[in-house]
Homo-oligomer: A and B are copies of this chain.
Amino acid sequence: MVAKIEHKNRTGCPVACSLDIIGDHWSLLVIRSLMFKGVHEYKDMLKEEEQISTSILTNRLKKLETEGLISAMTHPESKRRKLYYLTEMGKDLLPMMTEMVLWASKNLSELLAIPEDLKALLNNDPEQFIQLTLQTIEDWEEQYLN
C-alpha cells in the first residue's frame, strides 16, 4: 500500500496545521486543477502537464476527501467515471491560491506562462478574478450537483 500521510507535527499553529493538510508537492496541484482548470476527473488529472503518478494521485484524492477539501460523485454519463469537486472548505482556499499566483506573478515571472490579459486582471483586480473563478465553479456545480 502506498504510504498514508499523517498529521505528525500538528501543533496549535495555523500555518503548521494547514501544512499538515496541503503542505506537500501535489495536493495543491490537484486543488488547482479543480479550482482553475475545470479538471474534474482522475484520467484528466493524470494528463496534466506536471505528470503526477497514479499512486500519488489516488493517495492525494483520498487524503483530500478525508480532510474534507474535496468530494466525489459518480459521473452521470457512466458508472465507471467519477467526478471530483471542491467542497466549501476546498473553495475557501481560493483567496490563498490567488495570493500564491500573485506572488508567483511578481517574483517568478520569467518562469511563468500566464496570458497577458489574465495577468492584467490578476494584478489590477484580484477580487474580480476571485469572483469570476467562483462563478465558473458554481456554474459547474449547478450543472452536476443536486
Chain B's nearest CB lies how many Å from the CB of A9?
4
A95 contact from B51, B89, B102, B108, Cβ within 8 A = B102
The complex is assembled from copies of this chain, and their number is 2
Chain B's nearest CB lies how many Å from the CB of A111?
5
**A25: nearest residue on chain B (CB-CB)?**
B23
- A interface majority secondary structure: helix
Given A23-B28, A92-B103, A106-B92: A111 in contact with B10 (beta carbons within 8 A): yes
- Counting CB contacts under 8 A, is A13 at the interface? yes
A15 contact from B14, B68, B101, B111, Cβ within 8 A = B101
**A-to-B contact residues, CB < 8 Å:** 9-19, 21, 23-25, 28-29, 32, 36, 49-51, 68, 89, 92-93, 95-108, 111-114
